[in-house]
Amino acid sequence: MFRRLRRPVFDAPIAPARPFFAIGDIHGDYVGMDKILNRIQDSHDDPMVICVGDYVDRGERSAEVLGWLHHVNTLYPDDFVCLLGNHEQMLVQFLRDPEAQGDRWLAFGGLQTLQSYRVRKDAQTSMSDVRDQLAEAMGDDLIEWLERLPLHWQSGNVAVTHAGADPALPIADQPRRNLIWGHPDFATTPREDGVWVVHGHTIVETPQVQNGRIAIDTGAYVTGRLTAALVYDGGVEFISTRD
């Protein structure tokens, strides 16, 4: 008789080396970001903050969000970490190859990012001209910062990524695409190495903690609800702009 295969069970305790806050997908919601950060500062004297990516597109104030995050991450690189999301990746790809990447980026919400930098795209304007205007408005320092954003961050047995990971691979060995676009097994197969993954990318109605996954993208640009998770030894607490 064949034995029934047993699915792995994730039962590792949450054990970061240091408590930290992870902020979900901002998508140009400058007001929500400001509210969340004020609440974090009011509740903790020396907070560690990780942003999971997707700062731009779809929302109306992407330029202000990027400018503020760049400024704070530059001042406090060890205590305020910004990860790369798929929307930052698409923006960088547009800046590198506007004719090949422009239509795709605009379809995913890039038009709102252009508008936030007061760059207009009409039928007479080529994608290369739009790229040149956007690059000038953003400036070299900001563009270089975007190109250097890390793909993951980890403390103890808690990793933070933008879009999840392949549960069969260590976080450090993941292909770039897995961490910014996700992996088909991430939502259904628990990891066997005891590593929790905090992530955004996939919108959930309410933040979730289950089977080693902590989901914190509550669709701020649609719902007006930006969520952050406080992850500490033994547990998770959520705060949002709707609390």
pLDDT (0 to 100) of residue 1: 43
Closest residue by Cα to residue 185 from 204, 206, 210, 166:
166
pLDDT (0 to 100) of residue 43: 85
Tokens of 19: 């408590």
Candidates 3.90.79.10, 3.30.230.10, 3.60.21.10, 1.10.3720.10; CATH matching 20-84+150-240: 3.60.21.10
* Gap between the Cα atoms of 176 and 208, Å rounded: 24
pLDDT (0 to 100) of residue 133: 97
Q: How is 74-87 classified by DSSP, letter by letter?
A: HH-TTTEEE---HH
For residue 228, the tally of other CB atoms under 10 A from its CB is 26
| pLDDT under 70: residue ranges of the chain | 1-8
Residues 86-119 as b or e (16 or more Cβ within 10 Å = b): bbbbbbbebbeebeebbeebbeebbbbbbbbbeb
Closest residue by Cα to residue 220 from 22, 21, 31:
31
pLDDT (0 to 100) of residue 2: 46
Instruction: Count how many Cα atoms sit within 13 Å of the Cα of residue 177 in the half-sphere of its side chain.
Output: 2
**Is the torsion defined by CA of 56, 57, 59, 64 positive or negative?**
positive
Three-state SS for 227? strand
For residue 15, the tally of other CB atoms under 10 A from its CB is 15
